[in-house]
Each structure stands twice: as C-alpha cells, then as structure tokens.
C-alpha cells in the first residue's frame, strides 16, 4: 500500500507540480514587490496621488470602501502588465526566434476535392462523401 503511494509521489509530474507551486509563489512575491516598490510610486509621481484608500461611501451606516477596491484594481492591472511585458512578451519572442529556422512538419491529412473535408494522407476514399481520392 505504501509502495504505491511512494511511486505516486515520486512520479515526475507530482514533483514538477510541487516545484512549480513553490516557484510560482516566489515569482509572485517578486512581481508584487516590483509593482509595489517600483511601478506604483512611478504612477504616483505621474498622477500625483498614490493611494485611493481614503475614498469611501456610506449608505445606511454601511461603509463602502471604494478607494480600497480602486487600489486593488490598479494593483491587479499593474501586475498583469508587468507579467505580460517582462515575462510573456520576451518568452514569446525567444520561442519565435528559436522556431524561425525550423521547417513545418509534414502534413498528416489532405482535403477531399469533392467535399473539402480533412482525410488522412493514406486514404483512398473519402470517409465523408465516399468519393475516390
């Protein structure tokens, strides 16, 4: 019983997932710090007001913290922009540059001249319209 559990835990995908979770948490902390310590002060220098948490609305003795929500939305947008421009876009450019010299893979299907459906290359008759290929 325990040997099956040990095999499950030692499988590559479980260990990869554990490493990804730990690395994701550490990377999230780095991105959050970059937004909090670099981008938000830059936005404050441009806009003139770094914190909107003082904005609120009171209805029937209930306080709606509109400013805190605005702060969280701005933080989310800054984190998303930082991830896109500093991680996603450069990685996509690297992958595109690496694939630039590769030849496309050989096709595995062809179009039927009668019904234009996709059929395997080795097929002699279309599975959809039964025409001779």
Question: For residue 120, which of 109, 104, 105 has the smallest C-alpha distance?
Answer: 109
- The pLDDT value recorded for residue 26 is 86
Q: What is the pLDDT of residues 33-69, one digit of tens each?
A: 877 777 777 777 777 766 677 778 899 989 998 888 8
- The pLDDT value recorded for residue 12 is 65
d(CA 9, CA 42) in angstroms, rounded, equals: 45
- The pLDDT value recorded for residue 88 is 85
Strand-strand pairing, 109-111 and 118-120 = antiparallel
Q: Which residues contact 112 (CB under 8 A, 6 or more apart)?
A: 118, 119, 126, 128, 129, 131, 133
More confidently predicted of 24 and 50: 24
At 83 the three-state DSSP class reads helix
Is the model's pLDDT at 5 over the cut of 80?
no
More confidently predicted of 104 and 89: 89
- The pLDDT value recorded for residue 93 is 92
């Amino acid at each position: 019983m325990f040997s099956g559990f040990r095999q499950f835990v030692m499988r590559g995908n479980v260990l990869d997932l554990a490493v990804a979770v730990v690395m994701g948490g550490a990377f999230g902390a780095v991105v959050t710090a970059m937004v909090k310590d670099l981008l938000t002060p830059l936005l404050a220098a441009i806009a003139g007001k770094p914190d909107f948490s003082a904005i609120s609305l009171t209805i029937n003795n209930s306080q709606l913290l509109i400013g805190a929500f605005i702060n969280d939305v701005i933080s989310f947008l800054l984190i998303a922009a930082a991830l896109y421009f500093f991680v996603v876009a450069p990685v996509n450019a690297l992958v595109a540059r690496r694939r630039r010299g590769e030849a496309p893979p050989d096709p595995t299907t062809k179009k039927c001249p009668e019904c234009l459906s996709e059929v395997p290359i080795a097929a002699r008759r279309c599975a959809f319209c039964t025409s001779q290929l």
